[in-house]
Amino acid sequence: MSYQTLGEIIASKNFEGRRVHEDYGIDPETIEDLLYDRPSGLYSYSNSHGDAFLNNENLQVVELNTWICTDTGVGMNLMLLNDEPIAVSWQSARRNPTSYAFISEEAYELLREAWERHRPERNIQDKLIDAETLAMPVAPAGQAAYDIEDRDATNLRLSAVGVAGWMDELDRAGNGLADVENVETLKAALASCEAHVSSQRALLDRIAENSENGVPGPCDFVESVEKELKVTARICAHS
């Protein structure tokens, strides 16, 4: 018999005379897309996951109907996973995309199970909101929002301006900080003010130095920092 069908070659698992080599051309993003329809760029852990997979599983390619296009091998290949045929790949030209097709549902499961064996466990701790954020004051409905620092949602903090606005609301309500029972709320507010004031002290000192030399400083900024210092002092006194 001078030829075999593709199905016959796959079923025989006899690749004598054909070039068989390790396939490091298929990257983790391609495997994720192949298994779960996840386009490139939407997959995390690609390096560690891919390395673990390739270091522990035997992924090979059997060249079935291939040729060189300019300087790149293209055509039809058979993918083997631990010596078991799992998929056929096809690329018609060097600049054309490569498509893949599993040879059966069982082959799909074989790759999926091997791939998942090496998926890193995700650490969700860095995705959980912290206690200080949960203790952050939120303005009553219908009132102006308190200013919040530009940071990740897991550790939101009122800015010093936001703390001042919150304290103004407390003062208008009557008892000021005396109404605040949550110690974590006070600590977070104090930390916000102290961090902001600390970062602005050097600039404030330069403004004062320039003022002594006859260079006018931005009055609004000076007034703002001075207000933040007073707010910080009040929280410190209450704490």
Mean pLDDT of 193-220: 64
pLDDT confidence band for 101 (50 / 70 / 90):
very high
Give the per-residue pLDDT at 6.
Answer: 93
**Eight-state DSSP code of residue 151:** S
Mean pLDDT score across all residues of the chain: 82
How many Cβ atoms sit within 10 Å of the Cβ of residue 104?
Answer: 12
Q: Is pLDDT of 113 > 90?
A: yes
Higher pLDDT, 116 or 182: 116
Lowest mean pLDDT among 4-13, 42-51, 93-102: 42-51
Lowest mean pLDDT among 50-59, 104-113, 117-126: 117-126
The range of the structural domain enclosing residue 150 comes to 127-238
Q: Is pLDDT of 32 > 90?
A: no
Per-residue tokens: 16: 């004598």
pTM of the prediction?
Answer: 0.57
105 and 74 belong to one structural domain = yes
220 and 160 belong to one structural domain = yes
Give the per-residue pLDDT at 201.
Answer: 67
Give the per-residue pLDDT at 144.
Answer: 87
Q: Are strands 99-102 and 72-81 parallel, antiparallel or unpaired?
A: unpaired
74 and 157 belong to one structural domain = no
99 and 133 belong to one structural domain = no
